[in-house]
Structure 1
Amino acid sequence: MADVPDAGGFDLYDDEEDFRTVVDTSFWNQPKIPDYTPLAHFGRFEILGRIARGGMAEVYLAREWDEAGKARHLVVKRVLPEMEDNPDLLRMFLDEGRVATRLYHQNVCHVYESGEIDGVAFMALEWVWGPALEQVVERAGARGGCIPWPVAVEIVAQMAAALHYVHHAKGVNGKPLNIVHRDVSPQNIMLQWNGTVKLLDFGIAKTSSDITTGGAAVGKYGYMSPEQAQSQRVDPRSDIFALGIVLYEALTGKALYDRPTLLDTLSAIVREPVPSLRAERPELPDQLESIVKRALAKDPAHRFQSAGEMKAALKQVLRANGQVVTDQRVALFLEGLFTDEDRQPLRESNRVLTGQFTPLSPQQASAALSQNVTYQTFDHSGGSIAPSGRPSAAPKQIPTPFLVLGLIVIALVMGGLGIGLALLLMS
């Protein structure tokens, strides 16, 4: 990376993908994390409170320490005891971890590690602190408005960048992983309080050798592509259709395919024409109407042929209309929507344990909390930890072993209900 001038307290670095210098705002506008007393230990992780429970796993806010006494917060997802004897669900869980640990992108929620502790399958994931896009749309609607269109476009553009990376990711052998997410939805798009955007939920990952040509439809029904709805073979263009739905809903605040029954929903996806975007918001640029219609074409051949192509079209609309949307702009928008209470990582009701953990004694908890806590950002691109949030010079391999609050990772738990990503052999 090239040397760049001082930025008054922020770190500057070269964004080699977009060929521009950007400001690293990893901690910008981030609320202070309370020094929660740990409730239990799970391996080397301090368990701080339960965020969510699903049909397959529970998700906890956790903390871990390095040898220098520095701490980071993360999410620990572990299989429910009643699921441990279900080989199919256990394999799904382990496959998710194995695949997701290979993905390193600034707009993808990273899985740091997966494996077993005391015979219990778990994953350690990046903690994405902020609301889901679904909650942002709902909160804006409750206040009688919509997300400002440039902000909505930038959010979706970042998701397109994430999907482009995921679709083209390669395994350790250099061969394409052939990933299709198949569950792109507002529930799985997270906005951190500092304005960054993350894609998450890789709940039904398969290896490249697990060839899937059809079978049961997988994903949230209102965000399926026509080919998904008909249990046909899917490829990355199916994710582009889902992202088109997300774009429409983020711009209008209305569900595109919300129908009374499942059959009606699937029928609408397959047969109904795309409604006019500008009929809902006449002030929107004409180009956005075209982008939505193209992304939502029933025939995959008529859609954007890559997520990168869709990202480029969205960025062009912003440039043509003189709009520059930074992380700070997104963060300020969120600050106006949500309260300080919304921003609390855990509420008292979350500070409970189930029978899966052995609680710490008061003395143990006090001793853990008395450590000299230094928080830092962690690189998710495969490099080593650097206090600035940028990769340090010598990369090292990362081990393969919270609306707001708890909802941040509910989508992750929903992986146990058969929702998420699949690796497919593409045509």
Structure 2
Amino acid sequence: MMTRVPVLFTIGNEIRYEIVRKIFEGGMGIVYEAEQKGAQEFVKRVAIKVVRQNFTSQKQFIENFIGEAKLVADLIHTNIVQTYHLGEHNGSFFIAMELIRGVNLEQFSAQLKEKRRVLAIEMAVFIASRVARGLAYAHAKTDKNGRPLGIVHRDVSFKNIMIAFEGDVKLTDFGIAKARGFLTDNEGEVVAGKADFMSPEQADFQITDKRSDLFSLGVVLSTLVLGYNIFKDSTPEKSRLRVISMAIPDFRALDRRVDDRLNKILQRALARRVTQRYPEADEVLYDLEHYIYHSGYGPTNETLGKLIRGLFGVRPEGTMSESAKGGTQVMGRTGRAGKKSEGATQRAATGATRSGGTIRRGGATARSAPKKNP
């Protein structure tokens, strides 16, 4: 018979969020930078993802939004963006999560091109190794009874990998992840995610497992190394078909900096046959870290932070010189609302809300409620 654990205390309606500025606005929701307020002038900066009112009536969409929050709440790892709170305000659900003062890989790559800089091979491998760390943790996660959750992110891509100005690499946006008991899954009918980062089995409407994420990680690494995505085409559908049918190239022929060892890692990560691919993120991680550290000192969070701050003109404490201004709204469990002072430090946040499409059988692109998190 299970022993009943006594409730020591109950937290009242003390959590409230003062929205500082809008970070991103998409078709399904809005991301804000906010201040979480507590007792005795406690303040913590967070990111708030809010569902748009016109999506609050879509049951499956809301179920997936809630499922994502519940899933990620227990994923506590330095290379995964943290979730703090799931709440509801004026009929709309919101998630309070870790605010990342930094940029995603898409912004990072664009800035490298703008500055005519080439990313060092060792730094590209280092970034990929941090993502591998986060995936290894997520893939191994179990429920409270010790049963594997079977988490598959299914959207490991440039937009969903953040780099903080301090150099921390964070995997974010588990909005289309699948996991036992948490998220609605419609694999086989709809392909959700970014076509040019998908695994062949995901692009071909097949059932995926953790090895699908490792293929996507291989795409991330090859794109960092080459400066372009080998699968990207003019439309998502054309990109999807390239993922399914295009032969994986010898990367040594595409970039002379790629040696035999790195080419071998890329070939195994991008193996078309799932059985020939890396079976575990831990194995990818070992090969990546051995590649950059086997002969001595290699990249660190600090060296990556120095690189990214230099690229974006950011001071060491992690704030940009540019300011974003706008009225702010107070949001809390009590539903109180008000205004806060204008002028917030410009920051990039995590888990940007995007409107997007899903690819359905037959090649049609359509909006789908479970497609993305708001």
* TM-score, with structure 1 as normaliser: 0.73
Equivalent position of 2:351 in the other structure: 409
Q: Does 1:286 align with 2:260?
A: yes
The CA deviation at 1:346 is 7.5
Deviation at 1:223, TM superposition (A): 0.6
Whole-angstrom distance in 1 between the partners of 2:253 and 2:117: 16
2:103 to 122, 126, 131: 131
**Which whole-Å CA distance do the structure 2 matches of 1:231 and 1:130 have between them?**
34
Determine the C-alpha separation between the residues in 2 that align with 1:261 and 1:328: 37
Residue 267 (structure 1) aligns with: 241
* Structure 1 residues 101-144: Cα deviation after superposition (integer angstroms, max 9, x where no partner): 12111100011111323433111101111011111112112222
2:152 touches 2:177 (CA, 8 Å); kept in 1?
no
Identity %: 30
From the superposition, tell whether residues 280 and 138 of structure 1 become closer, same or farther in structure 2 (CA, over 3 Å).
farther
Q: How many residues align?
A: 342
Gaps of 5+ in 1: 1-41, 370-401, 422-427
| 2:139 counterpart letter in structure 1 | H
Report the 3-state secondary structure (helix = DSSP H, G, I; strand = E; otherwise coil) of the residue aligned with 1:409: coil
Say if 2:313 and 2:320, in contact at 8 Å, map to a contact too. no
* Pair 82,420 (structure 1): closer, same or farther in 2 beyond 3 Å: closer
Secondary structure of 2:34's match? strand
Corresponding position: 1:198 with 2:176: no
Give the aligned residue type for 1:360.
G
Q: 1:115, 1:268 → 2: CA distance? A: 41
Alpha carbons of structure 1 residues 273 and 352: separation in structure 2 relative to 1, 3 Å: farther
Cα distance in 2, alignment partners of residues 297 and 246 from structure 1: 14
1:344 correspondence with 2:320: yes
Shift of 1:358: 8.0
Deviation of 1:241 after TM superposition, in Å, equals: 0.4
TM-score, with structure 2 as normaliser: 0.83
Output aligned runs, 1:108-127, within 5 Å. 108-127=80-99
1:58 and 1:46, CA in 2 relative to 1: closer, same or farther beyond 3 A? same
Counterpart check, 1:331 vs 2:273 = no
* Superposed displacement of residue 260, structure 1: 2.2
* Cα deviation, residue 70, structure 1: 2.9
Could you tell me which of 202, 210, 213 is aligned with 1:239? 213
Runs of 4+ in 1 over 6 A off after TM superposition: 354-359, 412-417
Is the CA contact 2:19–2:330 (under 8 Å) kept in the aligned structure 1?
no
The aligned counterpart of 2:290 is 316
Offset of 1:408 from its aligned partner? Answer: 4.2
Q: Indicate yes or no: 2:281 matched with 1:303.
A: no
The equivalent position to 1:248 in structure 2, one of 222, 236, 246, is 222
1:73 maps to 45
Distance 2:369 2:313 in 1: 31
Residue equivalent to 1:158: 130
In the alignment, structure 2 segments of 5+ residues that lack a partner are 1-13, 358-367
1:46 corresponds to = 18
Aligned residues of 2:24 and 2:353 also touching (Cα < 8 A): no
Counterpart CA distance in 2 for 1:204 and 1:331 is: 29
Q: Helix, strand or coil for the counterpart of 1:128?
A: coil
**1:264: Cα distance to partner?**
2.6
Structure 2: how far apart are the matches of 1:97 and 1:116?
12
Pairwise CA RMSD of aligned residues? 3.0
Task: Provide the C-alpha distance between the structure 2 equivalents of 1:136 and 1:233, rounded to a whole number of angstroms.
Answer: 32
Q: For the structure 1 residues 346 and 123, does the alpha-carbon distance in structure 2 shift closer, same or farther, using more than 3 Å as the test? A: farther
Q: What secondary structure sits across from 1:160 in the alignment?
A: helix
